[in-house]
Structure 1
Amino acid sequence: MPRKASTQWEFGELFPDKDLRRVLTVSELNTSIRRILEERIGTVWVGGEVTNLRVQASGHAYFSLKDESSQLNCVLFRGTPVAGRQLLDNGMKLLIEAELTVYEPRGQYQLIVQTMELQGVGRLQVAFEKLKRELAAAGYFDPGRKRIIPAFPQKIGLVTSPTGAAIRDVLHAIRRRHPGLEIVLSPCRVQGDGAGEEIAEAIATLNLWSASRHLPGSGALDLILITRGGGSLEDLWAFNERVVADAILKSYLPVVSAVGHEIDFTISDLVADLRAATPTAGAELITEKAVASRTVIRDAVATIHRRSRQHLLGLMGQLRELSHRLGRGSPLRLVRDRMQAVDDVRSRVLRRINLRLRELEVSAQAAVVRHRRTHPLQRLLRHQKAVDAAIKRGTRAFNSRLRSLNTATVAALDRLRLLSPANTLARGYSITTEERGSIVRQADQLKAGDRVSTQVAKGIFVSQVIQTDRS
């Protein structure tokens, strides 16, 4: 160990002897920590929420368990036999039994999962899958044992809650599609503890009630509809219980299961003879044939009416044709045809006579016209008309030329008036001349004292130049 200082100026050995220090490698330190954790803590139970889940191609699953403030790395090796491995997902609540250790290559401690218990929905999902496998192995889902749903049921049994939305949906759909369908309700709870037993008892009760009315016309049931609205897996759990599956299997009446929404599947759906996605869909499947038959009947009635009318129209056409043939061969028809032929001959003869008379009349009128044209008086009259026409044409031409000259004269006077100095003076202008009579156009033509005359529109005045400005 370092030597102690004897005075204040002696500091002893600043560094101890290297042989007295223990230096660990990283691997040695990680190994030591792993041994301490495994020996002093070992196997522990830890609960938390799954996050950062990664499943490698090797089959090993890596994830973290977290709570409000921390998280732990976990690994589930492929060979570890745990239930619900395939259901593992981010956000799932999980309770694990694991060995606390250190992954030495990265120097991080982690949990090696030995046992895993799903919490909440995960637990129910595991139970669902387990019961599903058991029932499948026992033949509950065998298609060969499924019964045919009656196409035209007259009376059905309904297993559901009397206060839920499902019964309202079912009744509304049936009243709309098949109002004559009778419904026998066996009420029960569809959620909560003991609901599964109540559902099974309701199914059995309807079977017994229907069996007591097995005689024709006594009102036996044709099938049973079990239904409820949508909800979470916990809400629908009553329909995933073994007792309900047994009741459906033992029912001698066909069973339709309409539980939840389209995405919900329950054990009752798998065991039942027919599965419907929703309560409304269940009612529609039951009444499907009845609705289709009404459509067929309605179309058949319309087809009968159409074909009957077509047949009747065909018969009426045949009757008209026969009547027409009979009319053409009757004696009265022959006499009428002969009378009409005589009238046609008479009309043709009269038309020819009238035509010939008109031709003769036209020829006579043409001869009269030719005679009048060759008479001297007629020629004189024609010449007189020609002279009158020439005089009229000359008069019209003279008047037109006179109007043109008059228009040209007026236009020339207008132009002359526009160019006249008097017209310019009338617009406010004036003409100034020197004493010699020359028109003043520039100021430098004049000097102070010169007399000038200025002509305006009306009159002339004389003035004397006082000053000139040549700018």
Structure 2
Amino acid sequence: MAAPRVWEVGALCRAIADALEARFNPVAVRGEITGFSRASSGHCYFSIKDPQGQLRCAMFRRAASLLDFSPRDGELVEVRGKLGVYEARGDLQFIVESMQRAGQGALFEQFLRLKAQLESEGLFDAARKRPLPVQPRGIGLVTSLGAAALHDVVTALRRRAPHVPVVLVPAQVQGAAAPQSLISALSRLYRLAQQGPAEGRPPIDTILLVRGGGSIEDLWAFNDEHLARTIVQSPVPLVSGVGHETDFTIADFCADLRAPTPTAAAELVAQPREVWLGALDLIEGRMADGIQRLLDARHQRLDQAAARLGRPSGLVAREQLQLARTAQRMRHAVLLRLQRMEQAQQAAAAALPVQVQRRIDGLRERVDRAALRLELLDPRLVLQRGYALLADADGRSVTSVQQARPGDALKATLADGVVDVTVASQPRLL
């Protein structure tokens, strides 16, 4: 037998591409979309599959711009284009030139049936959705230990709220065993949340159920009916962050809140620490302003009271004036009384002169005694006996040695004037 031809790798890939071109193209293929993604360049990459096989596809920006719908995983489509080889990797590749819907696709139809059933039972009702706690004391987290979603969530929480503890219960997030694994992890967190805080374990005020993006098959565990019913039984608000922004699962509709990505889920339950610190600063400033306004009002009232009280010397002068006025009124009243009695005596032609004279003498004696008592109440008499009234520089009376300190300037009001004095030594109690 002749030895086989030895090919260069690139040459063989080109030969295969030429053979495919001559044998099949152009070609139309029907299948279910999986792993759909749109690059920033506008090109679309995905695979189409059926139970017997899967074909990698690329749809460049020009052809993608002509689409009249947004392709998504699980949709059954009919694509037309050319079959070839991506020589850089030696992969079989279908270059899609046009695409149209051909049906919903088996998985997508199953998804829609379950969604309609659970929606009719009220599992998606907005009325049963609960608001997230403003400042959770602890966060429960369910995801895979090997998932990128775990790193994304932990990074976001550490950046925004490093003071909030996280209780992680790992679970499988892909494969046939994933639904039951997720249910078991959630059930364990539910028990911890209902038990409340314990030694070494924080309270759980909200739960995150997260997973990174993938195809409809990759995310299918989150479309499980039993998992959906477990989610709605959560004793605390639950946030679903599964896949990318365009991915929707049954878990998203059952959760209290859906986040477009795992990172967004973490950000929804953890306000940045700077926000709370700023709020505390604002409250502190308002409290300080309120206290200062209160103190200013109290000081003003004290100033007004001090102004009404005045200096001790002023009080003495006012008391002296008041006493003098009282004595004058009393003398005037007695004299007026005596004049009236004398007039009555003269009118009665000197009747009972002895009794009247005694009455007059008694009244005069009472007036003299009253005048004497008034004079005894005169503060000047106290000052004339060697006493003095002490006041500080602000005019407040000094009545105790505890109000004076060495070096204090005081004013002493004496019987005939005011003397400025200075405290020379530490005052002593008697």
Scaled by the length of structure 2, the TM-score of the pair is: 0.44
Scaled by the length of structure 1, the TM-score of the pair is: 0.41
* Higher relative contact order (Cα pairs below 8 Å, separated by 6+ residues): 2
